[in-house]
Chain A
């Protein structure tokens, strides 16, 4: 069961365990500073497929298979899969899961999908509606570029605030049985936040207020402070959004700087990889959580962490109509098995 800590905020009274997780990333991500942490780095950005969209589906599918394999499971052992991506109608997820034959809930939360999936899965498992869930997400540079920006071979110049959509995918297997594994102990569902940013080339700035809002609510609801955590991690605020986020938190009276990390800022070396303000995309936060942070929680070097995936709920059409970009940030509290009592 869950205990409510406020609107949309819950403490898990029964631990929800992360039985296994997997991350697959593309070539450029593999060449970055985080390259070593992924289960696999695929050098062919087409993943052996005909189109970019099929490539992304394939990547997500293989990530889910890898996560299941690591827990010695098959798709038949899973009660519900929750997955989402950036592409219209969430096709990367639906086509990835088409052969699985597992009950499926499609999610859209832009780049916040990893946390949205973990929250939904935790609540489902807490209610007893299932024994084992998978939460997965993916993003692909080429599919995102096609849908949101320009053709790949178009000679446009990216402004310094632009972020680079990661070709990456993350999948997590959650259950109520694998004691000793990292566990989700609390969740906070984000609110749609909009401070009027209209620049689609500055997503970090659009999303930072959403992250600050969610984290402030969490601290107030739980009476915790940044000192209670070994790591506070955001999904893809990037270099600029990350700085704005720290400043916004400072204005609320919380200094998070010592334990703050952003997956978007970690993913690439912006000096040599020409990625400007850092990585972005559902797969950015998803793959670094699964490839880097969850293993650290498992080993016990991180005892307690917050993962907040941030999403710019942007549609090119609404931006053309002059609307600003609404954003959201969902929060998941993860504790190591040794910490959890």
Chain B
């Protein structure tokens, strides 16, 4: 009997176990929510010490990124992420983990072509397309302004 790619596709789908989605989603919710809760706590703490909202936001990001880099270096972030999935991927700590993990690993290939170039392998697309999207938005704003005759 001849096995066609279409028939085989059905077979593989039948045998592939599905992710335990309800467990994964619950973990993502709890741990992701937990990290945001920590962020909220830090925001309030900085505001309590008299920083304005924007400054408090920046310091919160810096602290969270620091904690993520530390956890990544100690090998803990990956262990939490195994269960948390998107819960550790989506917060800014996930972005920091994406920067730190290739940097640590590329150390054996030297500082310039190792760490220097590999540090952006995962975070690069995020920065690139985030910036590009914001520029598109900025262009729209600016064109509208010109048409409205503000300038």
Contacts and interface: CB of A to CB of B under 8 A. Distances in A.
A–B interface present (Cβ within 8 A): yes
Contact of B16 (A150, A153, A154, A160): A160
B105 interface: yes
Interface in A16-74: 50-52
Contacts of B3: 195, 209, 212, 248, 251
A94 B42 CA distance: 53
A243 interface: yes
Contact of A205 (B12, B18, B106, B108): B12
Main secondary structure of the interface of A (DSSP, over half): loop
A157 B15 contact: no
A155 B81 contact: yes
B81 A152 contact: no
B105 A195 contact: no
A146 interface: yes
A128 B24 CA distance: 59
Query: Chain B: interface residue count, which band?
Result: 35 or more
Given A151-B102, A155-B81, A205 B15 contact: yes
Interface in B69-110: 72-73, 75, 77-78, 80-82, 84-85, 88-89, 94, 97-98, 100-102, 104-106, 108
A195 B13 CA distance: 13
A157 B87 CA distance: 11
Contacts of A156: 81, 89
A247 interface: yes
A202 B16 contact: yes
A13 interface: no
Contact of B80 (A152, A155, A205, A251): A155
A150 B122 contact: yes
Query: Chain A: interface residue count, which band?
Result: 20 to 34
Contacts of B77: 153, 155
Contacts of B8: 195-197, 209
Contact of A155 (B19, B89, B105): B89
B1 interface: yes
A240 B5 contact: no
A160 B15 contact: no
A310 interface: no
A244 B15 contact: yes
B147 interface: no
Interface of A: 50-52, 146, 150-161, 195-197, 202, 205, 209, 212, 240, 243-244, 247-248, 251-252, 274
10 contacts: A151-B102, A152-B105, A153-B104, A155-B82, A157-B81, A157-B85, A158-B82, A195-B3, A196-B8, A248-B3
Given A157-B82, A196-B5, 14 more contacts: A50-B108, A146-B105, A153-B72, A153-B78, A153-B100, A153-B104, A154-B78, A160-B18, A195-B5, A240-B12, A243-B15, A248-B3, A251-B1, A274-B82
